Amino acid sequence: MFLAVLVARLWHLQLIHGESYVKEARENRIRLLRLSPSRGRILDSQGRVLADNSPGFTFSVIPGEMGDTEKIIETSSDVLGLAPEKLRRLIHRSKSSPKYMACPLKENMSLEQVSLIKSRITSLKGVTLETRPTRLYPFGEALCHVVGTVGEISAKELFKYSQMGYRPGDRIGKAGIEKEYEVLLKGVEGWEQIEINARGRQLADLTRRSPTPGANVTLTIDVSFQKFVEKTFIYRAGSVIVVDPDTGRIIAMVSKPGFDLNLFAPSISEHEWKNLNSDPLHPLENRSIRGVYSPASTFKVVTAAAALGEGMVHPDERFTCEGKFQLGGQTFRCWKRKGHGEVDLHGALVESCDTYFYKLGLRLGIDRIARYASLFGLGKPTGLGLPQELPGLIPTPAWKLRTYREAWRDGETVTVSIGQGYLVCSPIQLAMMTVAVANGGKLLRPALVRRIISHDGSLIFDHSPVVRWKIPLNPRELSLLRRAMIGVVSENDGTGKKSRIPGISLAGKTGTSQVIRLREGALKMEKVPYHERTHAIFIAYVDDRPMKIAVVVIVEHGGGGGAVAAPIARKIICRYYGVPDPGDPKE
């Protein structure tokens, strides 16, 4: 009887299920190893490497070959520096990966860790050490918001990009250029099939496909100049942008405060992540594209352009400024309490007379102001090529009715006409607005990437200027604006005279952006709480050099634009053209 049962069992195993067991045995002898590609490098305009790769060791498990999970944890937890519970969670997560694909648990292991773990894993099934490149940022904090970071792929990203070959534990661009150009930077994964025995030891190489490195991305920014700008910006928070007005290429882009990119390579610690996220100045935020501020008196350039373009004012027409303006029981004050007296368009821009623009704004009406603000690129993303750029806001009666269910009031037109109220924009939008004045009315798309070259040297992308549209101002109208902006710097009553550089024709406009409503008998700036202080803004461009530049400086809670932001712009421009800074102490 026993013999009959044994024969029947052998017959069942060999004849009915024999083929499937043979197939499973073959598959269990084949291991598929992923070969990670070298991520493309990010370079500055002079070819200096901003983001590179360094070889790193990764501790991985093969879900379909894993033996005793608890034995793996007991053997490797202390060496890897991972708490047993965390390692247990990672191993559990790996079981959702393909059965014979290596799933990383610990990256960037030290040589000491590698040496120790090698001596322990010989008795463990389904455990392997892989060589995977990790990201390296030679310049640390410089250009941190532009270059961006790489991090472990999230569940949401994995669902979105799984068809592109991503697996749990993979690295993916999280911010900046690293995120925007992820598809080109990542390269193409390779693989290798090896034959192993029952103990997981390699017997032979079967087939192999080498990985394809990612493309190299060259930026428009010179990191040496960038570092000078970062060093010059000594304040707690704000942004500086330097642009070529003829091409739209970004020459420098600073957002302060910043952070060391190497904190994220290969992964940031929980402690460091908590510190960055709890910092009240939000160092992870790219203020250049996501900081939104009232443009203050820099917006008077737009209001003046609208009045000229619509034929609503003659340049020689004078308005009287007595230091305040009455409207419907409200008093709107000029920054100069005693007033500017009789002032025309040129003088109003040079001396930044609020009362002149209150009256001009009412004559124009909010719809015309909003239209020209849009023509100058405000209220919409610039198309710079960095993720999560904010559009800012151009308020209109329709917007207010939709948002607050209230009608628009003339007093709100008055405040918008001088760049206050609901109106907000980002530093990059102000930069491109300035560029449009500098280059004769062309609103350009800003560019951070100069070229992209594949691993084999072929050209994928080469930047050429993109004109989004032409602002409808004739040469005479543009000339009036430009002469007034030159007067802001060069004339004795100009609010931007602290940016003056001998031998250089500089056109500018100051702005002092209110954070809270001005109070009577305001305290001195140093006695005002930091978060209630005004933002200092200065926009400028060089008018008389073959190599032109436009500059925007915003100092959060810094005070007055002419006193604080203009001198920063002066230092930057002097460095760019290699001329002495007249503000430096004389020896």
pLDDT tens track for 40-66: 999 999 999 999 998 878 888 877 777
507 CB neighbour count, 10 Å cutoff? 26
Q: What is the residue type of 270?
A: E
Output the six-digit token pair for 112.
């000491």
Instruction: List beta partners, residue 147.
Output: none
Q: Which two tokens stand for residue 257?
A: 């405060």
Q: What is the pLDDT of residue 197?
A: 58
Statement: the pTM of the whole predicted model exceeds 0.85: yes
Q: 3-state class of 347 per DSSP?
A: helix
In angstroms, rounded to a whole number, what is the distance separating the alpha carbons of residues 267 and 282?
Answer: 19
* The pLDDT of residue 520: 42
How much is the pLDDT for 457? 95
Calculate ∠ Cα 515-351-562, nearest 5°: 50
pLDDT of the residue at 14 = 58
- Asked if 286 and 353 count as a contact pair (C-beta separation under 8 A), the reply is no
What class does CATH assign to 223-258+286-577?
alpha beta
Spans in the chain with pLDDT lower than 70: 1-33, 98, 100, 194-206, 517-525, 586-587
Domain ranges of the chain: 36-219, 223-258+286-577
pLDDT at res. 421: 95
Residue 270 pLDDT: 83
Q: What's the confidence (pLDDT) of residue 429?
A: 98
Tokens of 471: 């602002």
Strands 238-243 and 171-173, how do they pair? unpaired
pLDDT at 100: 66
Tell me yes or no: is domain 36-219 CATH 3.90.1310.10. yes
Tokens of residue 220, six digits: 């428009």
Reduced to 3 states, what is the DSSP secondary structure of residue 400?
A: helix
Short-list 316, 307, 36, 356, CA closest to 185: 36
Residues marked active site are found at 297
User: Quick one: pLDDT at residue 555?
Assistant: 97
pLDDT of residue 571: 97
Pair 541, 245: CB distance under 8 Å: yes
Estimate the crossing angle of helix 475-490 against helix 300-309, to 10 degrees. Answer: 150
Supply the pLDDT for residue 200.
Answer: 52
Confidence at residue 27, expressed as pLDDT on a 0 to 100 scale: 47
